[in-house]
Amino acid sequence: MADLKLTDVEKTYGGTVQVLRDINLDIDQGELIVFVGPSGCGKSTLLRMIAGLEKITGGELQIDGQVVNDVPPSERGIAMVFQSYALYPHMTVRDNMAFALKIAGKSKAEIDEAVNAAAAKLQLENFLDRLPKALSGGQRQRVAIGRSIVRDPKVYLFDEPLSNLDAALRVATRIEIAQLKEQMPESTMIYVTHDQVEAMTLASRIVVLAGGGVAQVGSPLTLYEKPNSTFVAQFIGSPAMNLLGGKIVGTGETTTLELEEGGGTITSHYPSKPEDMGAPVKVGIRPEDMTETDANDFAYHGTVEITEALGEVTLLYFQKSAPDHDPVIGKLSGIHKELRGQDVKLTAAPEKVHVFKDDISLLYRDETVFLPGVQPH
């Protein structure tokens, strides 16, 4: 039950290779923070630094107001759940869960009580005397979680705990973790994943890590509705947000935009300043926010090259304007196979249109925004 504070934390390997820099985060007690980011962004490294498995080469990590940079992992009050479960294969489930308490020299009665309580919480009572190899993947992951609960840590660390499970089990276990968090509202949890769905459903706040720094921190819906950069805009949401070239032709409370490449004129609810007039921008519209239109103030029009009818929605892939551009994607509800090969006009409501100048959202123009300088996917 604790808060965490990371101040200018950085990680350098061999004095030259910097993988993380300027990490500043305030994590409150009871939060479930999710680190997401493209592979190789350092999210697992950051988690391992908080755990104490990797040395912090710069900056300061505080848990409960105490600097723990040089405190050994076992004394930081953390527990970690590994992607590979990391169960001790030669010990029964009971011994796996009891190991930390045995090492700490707790009495047998205390250990039994803690283990039985955790087992009850995770429906593991019937498996306590089995070896890990006699358990299914989901059960093993529950034992791994049980092993951390038994220690009653201040902070739970999850390192991609669901990625070794199959799709159905992943959903079930994700819900179990959400319920577990509800049962323990006081516990602070940090969760690393590359799966957006996990991030969006579990997190109280998401930390988007990329290019060695923090791209944006915020609640799942903030990141979805108000991304601070084109990177976050394209990283959150699937399929990724369309970015269309354009320029500002009307400023004020709302912004009027003229689009290049087969586009018309549309309005965004983003405010702009008079000096923005004529500035080249990127206009971001999520595929699911696009609607078909006949009106003259459309956002984009082009020929549909491929349709993917998924039942509830249909994805429209438009012809690319240049070979190295990403195709514009539209997501219409219902089945629209007939649109293949057709010329289609799309538009979006003003509150769904995002405007980025120099890759930074106009909403965040007065803040320092970290641009990772890597591709989101």
Partner 1 sequence: MNPIFQGLITIVVGVGGCVGYFYFANLILDRFIFPAKGPEAGRNINRANQVRPWLFLFPAMFALSLYLVYPVFGSFIRSLYNRAGTEFIGFGNYLNLFGDSAFQTAFFNNFLWVLVVPAMATFLGLLVAQLTDRLAWGNIAKSLIFMPMAISFVGASLIWRFVYAADPDIGIINAIRVYFGAEALDPLQVPFWNNFFLMVILIWIQTGFAMVILSAALRGIPEETVEAAIIDGANPFQVFFRIKVPQIMGTIVVVWTTITILVLKVFDIVYAMTGGNFDTEILPSYMMDFMFRDDGRATAVAFVIMIVVLPVMIWNIVQARKEMR
State the residues that interact with partner 1 by CB under 8 A.
51-53, 72-75, 78-80, 82-91, 99-100, 103-104, 147, 151
Is residue 6 within 8 A of residue 61, CB to CB? The reply is: yes
Residue 73, helix vs strand vs coil: helix
Residue with Cβ nearer partner 1 (91 or 369)? 91
The whole-angstrom separation of Cα 234 and Cα 221 is 14
The whole-angstrom separation of Cα 343 and Cα 85 is 51
Residue with Cβ nearer partner 1 (130 or 357)? 130
Residue with Cβ nearer partner 1 (100 or 200)? 100
Q: What is the DSSP letter of 337?
A: G
Residue with Cβ nearer partner 1 (42 or 52)? 52
The whole-angstrom separation of Cα 56 and Cα 49 is 6
CB atoms within 10 A of CB 4: 22
| Beta carbon of residue 137, minimum distance to partner 1 (angstroms, whole number) | 15
| Beta carbon of residue 151, minimum distance to partner 1 (angstroms, whole number) | 7
CA-closest candidate to residue 104, choices 151, 66, 52:
151
CA-closest candidate to residue 68, choices 79, 81, 55:
55
Phi, psi at 256, each rounded to 5°:
-100, 135
Cα 314 to Cα 33, 317, 338, 375: the distances in Å are 33, 10, 11, 26
| Beta carbon of residue 112, minimum distance to partner 1 (angstroms, whole number) | 17
| Beta carbon of residue 152, minimum distance to partner 1 (angstroms, whole number) | 13
Residue with Cβ nearer partner 1 (86 or 339)? 86
| Beta carbon of residue 54, minimum distance to partner 1 (angstroms, whole number) | 10
| Beta carbon of residue 107, minimum distance to partner 1 (angstroms, whole number) | 16
Residue with Cβ nearer partner 1 (87 or 115)? 87
The whole-angstrom separation of Cα 282 and Cα 140 is 47
Tokens of 136: 């299914």
**Within 13 Å, how many C-alpha atoms sit on residue 201's CB side?**
15
Which class for 369: exposed (0-12), middle (13-18), buried (19 or more C-beta within 10 A)? middle
The whole-angstrom separation of Cα 96 and Cα 105 is 15
| Beta carbon of residue 86, minimum distance to partner 1 (angstroms, whole number) | 3
| Beta carbon of residue 373, minimum distance to partner 1 (angstroms, whole number) | 31
Phi, psi at 233, each rounded to 5°:
-55, -45
Tokens of 297: 């103030």
| Beta carbon of residue 186, minimum distance to partner 1 (angstroms, whole number) | 21
Residue with Cβ nearer partner 1 (99 or 364)? 99
Is residue 248 within 8 A of residue 271, CB to CB? The reply is: no
Tokens of 294: 């006949």
| Beta carbon of residue 104, minimum distance to partner 1 (angstroms, whole number) | 6
Residue with Cβ nearer partner 1 (94 or 147)? 147
Residue with Cβ nearer partner 1 (1 or 91)? 91
Residue with Cβ nearer partner 1 (74 or 126)? 74
Element (H, E) at 93: helix 93-103
